[in-house]
Structure 1
Amino acid sequence: MVGSTGRCVFCGIVKKEIPAEIVYEDEFVVAFRDANPAAPVHILVVPREHIPTLNDIPLGNPVLSHIGSAVTRIAEDFGVAQSGYRFFINVNRGGGQVIFHLHAHLVSRTGTGEKIAKGD
């Protein structure tokens, strides 16, 4: 999704031009609470680099490794690592992707339901 300025919403959050509740960041990724959560813990993890979809990751780019490492750390920080959580990426409109900046969802098992099945 592109904001009213014509720019990527997630790029705006990464650059801190658009407010979000950031819960983790490092040199590769930024993680923040989903604005419309499907569960008590619903965090989005986005690469700082704008990559539209999973299909657009350049060969050899370690972005998924960085996302995965961030997710495991965030799951520990939010107390869901042991109780369980979902970690997924929607790809393209048919796969439920709404914002075309690669992002992973970390969603606690409590409260999940219909919204998860429908996508972002």
Structure 2
Amino acid sequence: MSPSADCLFCKIVEGEVPADVVAQDEHAVAFRDISPQAPTHVLVIPRVHQPDVGSLAEAEPEAAVGLLRLARRVADEAGGSYRLVFNTGADAHQTVFHCHGHVLAGRSLGWPPG
């Protein structure tokens, strides 16, 4: 799907909005969350616009795999265990409707999350 003119994450991908980018490749961009919930809290987004991870996997499977690879690379660089979270839909507290995964690491991540 082509970039959405009103999408914050599309604007980050295009370099129109600044972000603290920690890694990127041909499929995805990873940047620090502006409201971190863990010592390492990085968002990983595909360069293509899809509203959620299921839509990305269906429409652009290569981009979905690329996003997961970049998320793992970011998590490996953080060291140790990590959690990768995809919120899908408003009821799941997704606030930006461009697929994105949250890489959380750097502390004990108990269960249930919270």
TM over 0.5: same fold? yes
Structure 1: stretches of 5+ with no match in the other structure: 1-5
Any idea what the Cα deviations from partners look like across 1:16-72, whole Å, max 9, x if unmatched? Answer: 110100000101100000011101100000000010122423346222211111111
Instruction: Name the aligned partner's letter for residue 13 of structure 1.
Output: I
User: Identity percentage over the alignment?
Assistant: 36
Superposition misfits of 4+ residues, deviation over 6 angstroms: none
Task: Assess, with a 3 A threshold, how the Cα gap between structure 1 residues 28 and 40 changes in structure 2: closer, same or farther.
Answer: same
Counterpart of 2:103 (choices 102, 106, 112) is 106
The question of whether the paired residues in 2 share the 8 Å contact of 1:28 and 1:63 is answered with yes
CA RMSD of aligned residues (A): 2.0
Q: 1:8-87, aligned counterparts within 5 Å?
A: 8-57=7-56, 58-59=58-59, 61-79=61-79, 83-87=80-84
Larger deviation, residues 94-103 vs 70-79: 70-79
Instruction: Name the aligned partner's letter for residue 72 of structure 1.
Output: R
For residue 30 of structure 2, give the secondary structure of its aligned residue in structure 1: strand
For residue 61 of structure 2, give the secondary structure of its aligned residue in structure 1: coil
Q: State the TM-score, normalized to the length of structure 2.
A: 0.83
Instruction: Name the aligned partner's letter for residue 31 of structure 1.
Output: A
Q: State the TM-score, normalized to the length of structure 1.
A: 0.79
Task: Assess, with a 3 A threshold, how the Cα gap between structure 1 residues 60 and 42 changes in structure 2: closer, same or farther.
Answer: closer
Matched, 1:92 2:89: yes
Any idea what the Cα deviations from partners look like across 1:66-97, whole Å, max 9, x if unmatched? Answer: 11111111112222xxx311111000111221
The question of whether the paired residues in 1 share the 8 Å contact of 2:78 and 2:106 is answered with no
Structure 2: stretches of 5+ with no match in the other structure: none
